[in-house]
Chain A
Amino acid sequence: MKRYVIIGNSTAAIHAVEGIRSLDKEGTILLVSDETHFTYGRPLISYYLYGKTDEEHMKYRPSDWYEVNGVQTKLGVRAEKIDAKEKTVTLSTGETVGYDKLLVATGSRPFVPPMEGLDRVEQSYSFMTMDDALRIERDFVKTDNVLVIGAGLIGLKCVEGILSRVNSVTAVDMADRILPSILDEEGSRIVQTYLEGLGVKFCLSDSAVKFESNSATMKSGKTLSFDKLVLAVGVRANIELVKEAGGACERGICCNEKQETSLADVYAAGDCAISHDITAGVDRVLALLPNAAFQGRTAGVNMAGGDVSFDQAIPMNAMGLFGLHMMTAGVYEGEVYKEHKDGNYKKLFCQDGVLKGFILIGDVSRAGIYTSLIRNRTPLCEVDFDLLKTRPQLAAFSKTYRRENFTKEV
């Protein structure tokens, strides 16, 4: 009987368990996590503050999921050391547990760049975990002026969550525009204008150089005062366990298409692991929930003796802010098709005869048809791209494609 140990309790870990159980109903599964919560949808923390869900509905799986899947949990326990030779993991409780197959799904943590005086700020928050959301819910009050450092995905989802709970929110970013990792300049402007219309303030092309307990001195010389500070600058992958055990790591844990690390019988998946981004053609961390799910599933199946690969990793984001939806995928390189009318913004990027990326703001309907063209690297000569440009539709695909997909099981 195999002994599986899983470090982590979020998306990659859960999908790995399901992958294991798809082949192995007998092996023992021990899941260790330093978080005490039942597995929850991590990106839901902003929706929690926004009032769109509650703790019960945030559960990522039904309440009996651990039992049904024969998972022994150690929650609130940290894995401190992997001994890849002895095949053991040392826990914060002092225990040492042995494994036949180990998954490292340790995710990432907020990255806080060194900033002078940060330790003088008493009311400082990050926005990554349920506990962070609960602290914000508990502490933030109507009269608060909040300064959010970082106008990327995490920072702006936090802004959405807290705006109606406080007096004012100002988001700061070193970049000259918001959401620089997923939008182009024009797209950033559209979303920024929308958010400013709702009362969000921005301070761009600027950064905090020094903090006092309730104010930040900016590089520009400006002083921004605040009651509460949220740090959403970025994240760092939790690679230390594997690195210290001698496993190959870059900015994330290196792994192959089977999610194997360089250590025998040690797998990695999720935000701590590196993916091969097929659109950019580079290895990098793609900290996206679906990617964690695909990698976790792949790891689990392989840990249980299966043989599957995940080789379709692409950056993609579905992002909504106060009812304005945007979807993006791939890389923004190559020939551009652009539409900007009736409040909807669309850009498609084609290169080497395939769709490489897109940005949609406003009308995002059927975006998955575009995403699948990118993921499958479908040659555009096989579809009626002129038709597809205007609207994602299956009429632009061949009769054969439709027969394969509509008249058979898929």
Chain B
Amino acid sequence: MKRIYVEEKWCLGCHLCEYECAFANSGMTDMVKALKGKTIHPKIRVEDGKNVHFAVNCRHCKDAICVNSCIAGALSRSESGVVEIDRNKCVGCFTCVLVCPYGAVMPDGDGHVAQKCELCTKNLCGEPNCVAHCPNRAIVYEERD
């Protein structure tokens, strides 16, 4: 399947992907209205290390430990391989946060349920918005082994 891959040598650490993610998942079509004056809760996060920057989001693991560990059956793997979360089933126990080795599942803005990257399959974008707007192609969306 197509996945998001991150090349840290190209990452500028601009954090634009975080804003594009928050915008894509806001359900709104005007970025300014969607984000201005608001605290964002993106599903992709840039880490700024000593001399390195890189974005982290869900790896959509083939044998995803979050899916196997979910106490509610709220996390599942779709036929196309996307690790999805059913917000209506999630009870916010955050066992997924406890097990994800990438720290890529997190509480949502309200803190009541978990959220994670679903490759923009459930919003208006259809394809990952962070990839579309990365100014230096540090985040790509493609098929790899």
Contacts and interface: CB of A to CB of B under 8 A. Distances in A.
Given A294-B68, A364-B97, A392-B103, A57 B5 contact: no
Interface string B20-57: 00000000000000000000000000011110101010
B132 interface: no
A44 interface: yes
B98 A368 contact: yes
Contacts of B49: 387, 393, 395-396
A318 B91 contact: no
Contacts of A52: 91-92, 112
B135 interface: no
Contacts of A172: none
B92 A410 contact: no
A325 B62 CA distance: 28
Contacts of A15: 68
A369 B101 contact: yes
B47 A393 contact: yes
30 contacts: A15-B68, A41-B72, A41-B73, A44-B72, A52-B91, A53-B91, A57-B72, A58-B72, A60-B72, A60-B73, A289-B69, A290-B95, A294-B68, A297-B68, A319-B93, A329-B98, A364-B94, A365-B97, A368-B99, A368-B100, A368-B103, A393-B103, A394-B47, A395-B50, A396-B49, A406-B5, A407-B5, A407-B6, A407-B144, A409-B62
B71 A44 contact: yes
The interface size bin for chain A is 35 or more
Contacts of A290: 65, 68-69, 95, 99
Contacts of A393: 47, 49, 103
B88 interface: yes
Contacts of B99: 290, 316, 368, 371-372
A409 B144 contact: yes
Interface string A281-295: 000000001100110
Interface string A42-54: 1110010000110
A266 B54 CA distance: 48
A405 B97 contact: no
Task: Determine the main DSSP class of B at the interface with A.
Answer: loop
Interface string B92-128: 1111111111110111000110000000000000000
Contacts, number: 131
B91 A406 contact: no
A382 to B, nearest CB: 14
Given A42-B71, A290-B69, 6 more contacts: A44-B91, A53-B72, A58-B72, A290-B95, A371-B98, A406-B6
Task: Determine the main DSSP class of A at the interface with B.
Answer: mixed
Contact of A368 (B48, B50, B73, B105): B105
B145 interface: yes
Interface of A: 15, 41-44, 47, 52-53, 57-61, 289-290, 293-294, 297, 316-320, 323, 325, 327, 329, 364-369, 371-372, 387, 392-396, 399, 402, 405-410
A405 B62 CA distance: 12
A365 B65 CA distance: 17
A371 B97 CA distance: 10
A57 B97 contact: no
Contacts of A406: 5-8, 54, 56, 59
B101 A371 contact: yes
Contacts of A44: 71-72, 91
B15 interface: no
A409 B68 contact: no
A182 B61 CA distance: 29
A316 B69 CA distance: 11
Contacts of A323: 111
Nearest to A319: B93
Contacts of A387: 49
